[in-house]
Chains A and B, each alone.
Chain A
Amino acid sequence: DAGVIQSPRHEVTEMGQEVTLRCKPISGHNSLFWYRQTMMRGLELLIYFNNNVPIDDSGMPEDRFSAKMPNASFSTLKIQPSEPRDSAVYFCASTPVLVSVLGGDARYNEQFFGPGTRLTVL
């Protein structure tokens, strides 16, 4: 298995430009997560999808950010317009849903992270 695939790996753009980050989760995984990592704020969840449906987007910083998951094998995170403070490493992660054998309580196991996209907005 190739793991979670992200593209591009590096992106340098100018303020005001539109940026689109792409993610291909591991085949068969039901949930997909977008994170942002900076030195100041660490690793923050932006949004996550379950079965292609956005479940929680409370971490999306503002309306300039949007995310889609048109099918189980592809997701995008778009920033329009981009600003210098958006500079960060953006990670995509996926995970399968595991049902515990005890009581049927759904337990999410490890999240598999992609290599990240380093975004620099000048």
Chain B
Amino acid sequence: EDQVTQSPEALRLQEGESSSLNCSYTVSGLRGLFWYRQDPGKGPEFLFTLYSAGEEKEKERLKATLTKKESFLHITAPKPEDSATYLCAVQARGYNKLIFGAGTRLAVHP
């Protein structure tokens, strides 16, 4: 069964304290792994798509990496505005739908 597990469930950081979020997945043929950010009361907002192991993508303070079993979202020197829930999702070959993890709630305090 295709499955996505995110850890930790919640993370509290001080401003400037770098850390990483983890997304472990089990899928029958990965077509793509997606990272989304969700602010309270809003829909998820796309961040990255990773297609193959070894691939990396960066956007401002965020960097996503992918291996054959997991993905990491590295946050470098976070700011309070980075506070949000970060969702990971996978798309299996032959399917259009995304399977989402439960998310990591990130709080960055000044």
A residues touching B (Cβ–Cβ < 8 Å)? 4, 31, 33, 42-45, 48, 50, 55-56, 59, 91, 93, 107-116
- Complexed CA–CA distance, A59 and B95 (Å): 13
Are B45 and A33 interface neighbours, CB within 8 A? no
With the chains together, A87 CA to B15 CA distance in Å? 36
* A-B contacts at CB below 8 angstroms, number: 53
Contact A48 B42 (CB under 8 A): no
A93 touches B51 (CB 8 A): no
- Checking B42, B95, B100 against A43 with a beta-carbon cut-off of 8 angstroms, the contacting residue is B100
A31 touches which of B42, B46, B96, B102 (Cβ 8 Å): B96
Q: Quick one: which of B41, B43, B99 contacts A114, CB cutoff 8 A?
A: B43
Contact B96 A48 (CB under 8 A): yes
| A56-B41 Cα distance, complex, nearest whole Å | 27
A41 and B59 alpha carbons, distance in the complex (Å):
29
Collect the chain A residues with CB atoms within 8 Å of residue B87's CB. 43
Using a CB-CB cutoff of 8 Å, which residues 44-97 of chain B contact chain A?
44-46, 49, 51, 87, 91, 95-97
* A50 partner, pick from B34, B43, B96, beta carbons under 8 A: B96
Q: In the complex the two chains form, is A107's CB within 8 Å of B100's CB?
A: no
* Bound complex: CA A113 to CA B45 (Å): 7
CA–CA, A23 and B47, complex, Å: 23
B42-A115 in contact (CB<8A) = yes
One of A48, A108, A109, A115 near B43 (C-beta < 8 A): A115
The chain B residue with its CB closest to the CB of A45 is: B97
Does B98 touch A at the CB level, under 8 Å?
Answer: yes
B31 within 8 A of A: yes
Report the separation of the CA atoms of residues A112 and B96 in the bound assembly, to the nearest whole angstrom: 14
Nearest A residue to B87, CB-CB: A43
B43 touches A116 (CB 8 A): yes
Give Cα A67–Cα B28 distance, bound, in whole angstroms: 28
A89 smallest CB distance to B (angstroms) = 9
Closest Cβ of chain A to B25, distance in Å, is 14
| A93/B49 in contact, CB under 8 A | no
B69 CB, nearest partner CB in chain A, Å: 21
Query: Which chain B residue lies CB-closest to A115?
Result: B43
